[in-house]
Amino acid sequence: MVEKVLIANRGEIALRVARACRELGIACVAVYSTADADSAVVRFADEAVHIGPPAAARSYLHIPSIIGAALKTGADAIHPGYGFLSEDPYFAEICAEHGITFIGPPASVMEKMGNKATARQAMKEAGLPLLPGTIEPVATADEAQYVADDIGYPVIIKAAAGGGGRGMSVVNRREDLRRAYQMTRATAQAIFKDSNVYIERYLRTARHTEIQIVCDSLGDGIHLGERDCSVQRRHQKLIEEAPSIHLTPELRAAMGSAAVKGALSVGYTGAGTMEFLLDEEGRYWFMEMNTRIQVEHPVSEMVTGIDLIKEQIRVAQGQPLTHSQDEVRLTGHAIECRINAEDPARDFAPAAGRLEEFAPPGGPWTRVDSHCRPGWMVSPYYDSLIAKLIVWAPDRGEALDRMARALSEFRVNGPGMRTTIGFHQRVFAHPVFRSGDFYTDFIDRHMAG
Ligand code: MV4
């Protein structure tokens, strides 16, 4: 059994994990860089260990410091949150070598699904629908040309080691293919030290629809329905909602069982997400798997009533899932807005600084996951997410009105401080967003300027 969890993260997710530990009666250890010495999770946790200077490479990404903190405090498990070391199979392996439970899937599974080409191969074998494209990496420009001609344009070239939109290029015309192939390979080599790429048919009008799954170590898996994450800017999600208004119960059941089947086929354990594209005809296509808890997990919690972080901790201890698939019921509608310290007027440039005012909204069915408080210094060293605003309502229309109301209450001010609150207010006033009839190009198409 897990008695003490070390939280290898910072910000809102570290606090979220600490709260789950407290409710489970499990002790928790915060780790912090010099920039986070007086953070919310440091105040909340049972113990806190300084792990290094502000630069993440020397603190939250520095495996020896984190393992050292776990050994020193006697933590028997590590929750990696999202980002940082959460999808590093090498870190999961080091935890195992030290007898520490990594709260996530086995290292070998993280490795298989972390490579988007091998993930594609594994999910094809499990019978999931894949867009027309390659299974093996494409080794030469001649082969790329041959494959793309065969698929038909537009195609997308993706780095095998990529994911989340990094290292991809869309090719609209045959004459652009070779150059794009060479460029994507070079980019992939530079970012990931792995030049392997694969090619797929590119869907221009599709929705980003992802299925939340949880699997235990006894071989059971369930899904918690889907999230629509089509409102993205440069592959950063801005708004997520559950359920998607574009799925029928039958389609949801089909996508959900495909996701669970795919995960169980590779021996997955813990919480995870299968990303799909949903096309105009209501067909779904597997894109990639995320082997971590995601930023947007609260919308799934709000429509199912299931605490995903507690579930992660339970299954990591070898306990069975607390719910069968039949017991998972989707109720109402939840929406999340990511509130970032960024300036939408300056191309969403990060805007770090001190929060003189931080007054989050309240009221019915209004949840704010945040580590911020008045006087808190938003550091330029880390991700600009300062709060997640999540609302629930019986239906989408009421949820939209509730979010607009909550956004209008949210006050964040400080010298040089800019946030995405006003941008979200414009989105929630937009008739196309309100109609729900939009695709992954919503921001470019409707929010430009
Ligand atoms: C695609 C796609 C269309 N066709 N692949 C983006 C993140 C990563 N998980 C994969 N992504 C996409 N892959 C094919 N074959 C559309 C996206 C995509 C997207 C593309 C452009 C602008 C915004 C987007 C938002 C979500 C997904």
Same domain, 270 and 177: no
Question: Residues 9, 96: one domain?
Answer: yes
Tell me what pLDDT residue 276 has: 98
Alpha carbons 210 and 214: distance in angstroms, whole number: 13
- For the chain, how are helix, strand and coil distributed in percent, rounded to 5? 35, 30, 35
Structure confidence by residue, pLDDT tens digits, 220-235: 999 999 999 999 998 8
Pocket of ligand 1 (CB under 6 A): 131, 156, 164-165, 200-203, 206, 208, 232, 235, 275, 277, 287-288, 440
Could you tell me if 296 and 384 lie in one domain?
Answer: yes
Q: Is 111 domain-assigned?
A: no
Expressed in angstroms and rounded, the spacing between residue 309 Cα and the centre of ligand 1 is: 27
How far is the C-alpha of 23 from the C-alpha of 14, rounded, in Å?
Answer: 15
Question: Is the distance from CB of 171 to CB of 148 less than 8 angstroms?
Answer: yes
- DSSP assignment letter at 119: H
| Distance in Å, CA 132 to ligand 1 centroid | 15
Measured from the Cα of 204, ligand 1's closest atom is 3
| Average pLDDT value over all residues in the chain | 97
Same domain for 359 and 436, yes or no, is yes
Binned at pLDDT 50, 70 and 90, residue 164 comes out as confident
Residue 449 pLDDT class (50, 70, 90 cuts) = low
Pairing outcome for strands 236-242 and 270-279:
unpaired
Please indicate, yes or no, if residue 114 is contained in any of the structural domains.
Answer: no
Report if residue 366 sits inside a domain: yes
- pLDDT at position 375, please? 98
How many Å apart are CA 33 and CA 53, to the nearest integer? 5
pLDDT at 357: 98
Q: Measure 368 CA to ligand 1 centroid, in angstroms.
A: 28
Ligand 1: residue of 239, 287, 289, 292 to mutate (most ligand atoms within 8 A of CB) is 287
Same domain, 214 and 194: no
Q: How far is residue 444's CA from residue 377's CA, in Å, rounded to a whole number?
A: 32
CATH number at residue 63: 3.40.50.20
Residue 293 tokens read as 């808890």
Is 123 a member of any domain?
A: no
Instruction: Determine which residue's CA is closest to atom 23 belonging to ligand 1.
Output: 440
Instruction: Answer yes or no: do 197 and 211 share one domain.
Output: no
Q: What is the C-alpha to C-alpha distance for residues 449 and 184, in angstroms, rounded to an integer? A: 29
Range with the lowest mean pLDDT among 152-156, 164-168, 300-304? 164-168
Confirm if 351 and 306 have CB atoms less than 8 A apart.
Answer: no
Residue 158 sits in a domain whose CATH number is 3.30.1490.20
Domain identity same for 237 and 358: yes
**Cα angle: 269, vertex 336, 209; to 5 degrees:** 55
Rg (CA), the chain: 21
Least confident window among 155-169, 230-244, 298-312, 355-369 = 155-169
Rounded mean pLDDT of 364-383?
Answer: 98
Range of 155's domain?
Answer: 132-201
Alpha carbon separation from 329 to 36, 45, 304 (Å, rounded)? 39, 33, 6
Q: Which residue has the tokens 């309240």?
A: 362
**pLDDT at residue 349 greater than cutoff 70:** yes
320 SS3 class: coil
Residue 276 belongs to a domain: yes
CATH number (domain holding residue 292): 3.30.470.20
The protein residue with its alpha carbon nearest to ligand 1, atom 20, reads 440
Q: Are residues 420 and 286 part of one domain?
A: yes
Question: What's the distance, Cα to Cα, between the start and end of the chain in Å?
Answer: 53
AA letter at 275: E
Q: What are phi and psi of 237, to 5 degrees?
A: -70, 140
Our count of domains for the chain comes to: 3
Domain shared by 147 and 220, yes or no: no
pLDDT for the residue 166: 86
List 207, 227, 292, 314, catalytic entry:
292
> 446 CA to middle of ligand 1, Å?
18
pLDDT at 125: 98
Q: Is residue 113 a part of any domain in this protein?
A: no
Q: Is 125 within a domain?
A: no
Helix spans in 26-176 (H) = 40-44, 63-73, 89-97, 107-114, 116-125, 141-151
108 within some domain: no
**Residues 6 or more apart in contact with residue 230 via CB below 8 angstroms:** 207, 208, 438, 439, 440, 442
> From atom 5 of ligand 1, which residue's Cα is the shortest distance away?
202
For 175, phi then psi, to 5°, come to: -70, -15
Report residue 205's pLDDT band, with 50, 70 and 90 as the boundaries. very high
Q: Is 292 a catalytic residue?
A: yes
213 C-alpha to center of ligand 1: Å? 21
Q: Are residues 215 and 275 in the same domain?
A: yes
Mean pLDDT over 206-215 rounds to: 98
Residue nearest to atom 9 of ligand 1 (CA): 164
Reported pTM: 0.97
Q: Residues 377, 428: one domain?
A: yes
Name the pLDDT band for 327 (thresholds 50, 70, 90): very high
**29: amino acid identity, one letter:** V
Are 137 and 126 spatial neighbours (Cβ–Cβ below 8 Å)? Answer: no
Which class for 325: exposed (0-12), middle (13-18), buried (19 or more C-beta within 10 A)?
middle
| 440 shares its domain with 343 | yes
CA of 90 to the centre of ligand 1 (A): 28
Single residue among 201, 230, 251 that ends a domain in this structure: 201
* ω into 243 cis (within 30 of 0): yes
For residue 36, how many C-alpha atoms fall within 13 Å in the half-sphere facing its CB?
Answer: 33
- Which mutation among 168, 232, 235 tests ligand 1's pocket best, with the greatest number of atoms within 8 A of CB? 235
